[in-house]
């Protein structure tokens, strides 16, 4: 699987989790807690794949426009990873505040996904070419397998798939 196909599959997984989380109710504390853990794991792994593998190759192959896109995407990751997800994790899942924060996380991530898929990924296909995208995809698959091993067995490993 090439790098972009792999990342787009991750996007679909994240969107499914976000939909389930946003449709959950304040009474579904256990479900919300499990979905939030899955979301965090998926987003963390996905961010690592993009920032350590695809983004540097994209930036290197491009010019100023791609560099701006690279830094914008990294900043969006930082906003979610450093601010929004940590706040959500410390919010009681049985409250309306949690519901509101889930909505914000969903909007931020969907915006980010849309920008990547409509702007960055098409440019990456042209700039990097099929062979390099395949090589990057292999690197990502190896990274994912290694990451899953560090998590150990159990539900976390299942969520990584």
75 token code pair: 């900043």
How far, in Å, CA of 136 to CA of 114, rounded? 21
Q: What structural domains does the chain harbor? A: 3-160 (1.20.120.520)
pLDDT at 68: 97
- Measured N-to-C along each axis, helices 29-49 and 121-151 cross at an angle, to the nearest 10 degrees, of 120
Query: What does DSSP assign to residue 52?
Result: I
123 token code pair: 């440019």
Total-model pTM: 0.89
pLDDT in tens, 43-82: 999 999 999 999 999 999 999 999 999 999 999 999 999 9
pLDDT in tens, 99-127: 999 999 999 999 999 999 999 999 999 99
Nearest to 14 by CA among 50, 40, 32: 40
How far, in Å, CA of 88 to CA of 80, rounded? 10
């Amino acid at each position: 699987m090439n790098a972009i196909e792999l990342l787009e599959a991750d996007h679909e997984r994240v969107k499914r989790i976000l939909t389930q989380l946003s449709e959950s109710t304040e009474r579904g504390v256990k479900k919300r807690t499990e979905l939030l853990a899955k979301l965090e794991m998926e987003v963390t792994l996905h961010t690592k794949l993009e920032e350590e593998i695809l983004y540097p190759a994209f930036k290197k192959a491009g010019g100023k426009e791609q560099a701006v896109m690279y830094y914008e995407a990294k900043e969006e990751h930082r906003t979610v990873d450093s601010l929004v997800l940590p706040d959500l994790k410390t919010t009681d899942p049985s409250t309306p505040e949690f519901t509101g924060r889930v909505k914000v996380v969903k909007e931020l991530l969907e915006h980010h996904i849309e920008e990547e898929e409509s702007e960055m990924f098409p440019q990456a296909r042209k700039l990097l070419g099929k062979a390099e995208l395949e090589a990057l995809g292999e690197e990502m698959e190896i990274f994912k397998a290694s990451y899953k091993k560090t998590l150990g067995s159990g539900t976390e490993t299942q969520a990584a798939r």
